[in-house]
A = this chain, B = another copy of it.
């Protein structure tokens, strides 16, 4: 039997942001309780072509499917008219080992689970009355994080901070088209919003800890390698509550790890974000809260499984 191959059109038809949010929430909770299997990824480098390949396996224990995700990045591709990133997600039955489907998703599931995790963490940890949202960065994640958080709570104002005036302007227009009141902002003004989400590939802090106001919440989703860094250690020192999506991963290559190594917090100061999604978070009104999200592989499996349940039940 030839494996089922599903493209982005089929995948988009099979799910909704609401379904993605529910699936990712459940998977983050499962991960917080140790009910996931995520072996360290395989990594292959192609120095002559300036390329690399990661192979990641993930499983939410006792669910029907696991996934093998192949993701490549070849950084000279644009010069040849090819996309930098390529890959696919292979969905395998955890009950029979049969390959159920190949999702030719162009990175869509990874983008969705990253956006859903950020929106869920921000919504759970921010004050119920928080109404201004700032986003650092102007890429796909900046757009998705804001859009999906807006599905979880009302947002009065969106402040967009980017390095490119054009891209910042375009993103604000896109938000306006969705009925959100969005405008460009300087870093200090953005950092002073009720809710802040950073979505950049920065290798040094994108905001100053002193600009973040008492009572605010900050979520960082861009730091996924040891040399990257978005949130300053001093912000973690000020935080009353720190959440991580995966303790060891955030320690190894998240902003949390930078803060621990800088002595701004201890390596036991974090709470699994999944635990904060189970029930309303108790937080003092004037506390600062921070979420450091580095990406959990088991979410790929949960999301791919949810897509397949819809398409090939």
Contacts and interface: CB of A to CB of B under 8 A. Distances in A.
A99 B7 CA distance: 14
Interface in A1-56: 2-3, 5, 7, 37, 39, 41-44, 46, 48-49, 51, 53, 55
B96 A74 contact: yes
A263 to B, nearest CB: 35
Contact of A96 (B3, B39, B49, B55): B49
Interface residues of A, number: 42
B43 A70 contact: no
A51 B97 CA distance: 7
A42 B86 CA distance: 21
Given A49-B94, A90-B70, A104 B3 contact: yes
Given A2-B104, A99-B88, A104-B3, A46 B82 contact: no
Contacts of A90: 70, 88, 90
A55 B53 contact: no
A97 B74 contact: yes
Contact of A92 (B57, B70, B77, B82): B70
A95 B49 contact: yes
A108 to B, nearest CB: 14
A80 interface: yes
Most chain B CB neighbours (cut-off 10 Å) among A43, A46, A97: A97
Contacts of A73: 97
B3 A5 contact: yes
Contacts of A37: 44
A127 to B, nearest CB: 41
A97 B68 contact: no
A135 interface: no
B102 A97 contact: no
Contacts of A157: none
A136 interface: no
A56 to B, nearest CB: 9
A72 interface: yes
A66 B239 CA distance: 46
A48 B42 CA distance: 25
Nearest to A70: B68
Contact of A53 (B41, B53, B92, B95): B92
B102 A3 contact: yes
A87 interface: yes
Contacts of A96: 49, 51, 74, 77, 80, 82, 86
B42 A42 contact: yes
A98 interface: yes
A146 to B, nearest CB: 30
9 contacts: A5-B5, A5-B102, A46-B95, A46-B97, A49-B94, A49-B95, A82-B96, A86-B96, A87-B99
Given A51-B96, A70-B90, A87-B99, 7 more contacts: A53-B57, A53-B66, A70-B92, A70-B99, A72-B92, A72-B97, A72-B98
